[in-house]
Amino acid sequence: MIEFNYETNFILEDESLLKDWIITVASEQNFEVGEINYIFCDDAYLHKLNVEFLDHDTLTDIISFDNSLGKLLNGDIFISVERVKDNAAEFKVSFQDELHRVMIHGVLHYMGYKDKSSDEKKMMRNQENMALEKLSN
């Protein structure tokens, strides 16, 4: 089950389409979606979590707490809508494209993809791009 929660003045345009997309991306890599909660918030909300739980005093676009068990994906994904908007402008992409990239990024972490080294970042970006292609078809 995928739930979308809003801690700011923002609402996704097509929740059911996005739920189906996330489930498809997971199942194509032999994972099953258990309970994934997306929490859309602002910079201040996410910054507080970043300091409290990760000891990082920086702004970020996403924090994912992974509670997956084997191939069953579970967790909470917090996304700063403000940060996504700023990043979209910086990367010269639409807000929707950047939002979808960040949304699937958290799920890919649950599937074991990392993004610390340059090779890991390249693999993560490749997986994000493949997932985004499925959404646009």
State the binding site for Zn(2+): 105, 109, 115
State the binding site: 105, 109, 115
DSSP track, the chain:
-EEEEESSS---S-HHHHHHHHHHHHHHTT-EEEEEEEEEE-HHHHHHHHHHHH---S--SEEEEE--BTTEEEEEEEEEHHHHHHHHHHHT--HHHHHHHHHHHHHHHHTT---SSHHHHHHHHHHHHHHHHHHH-
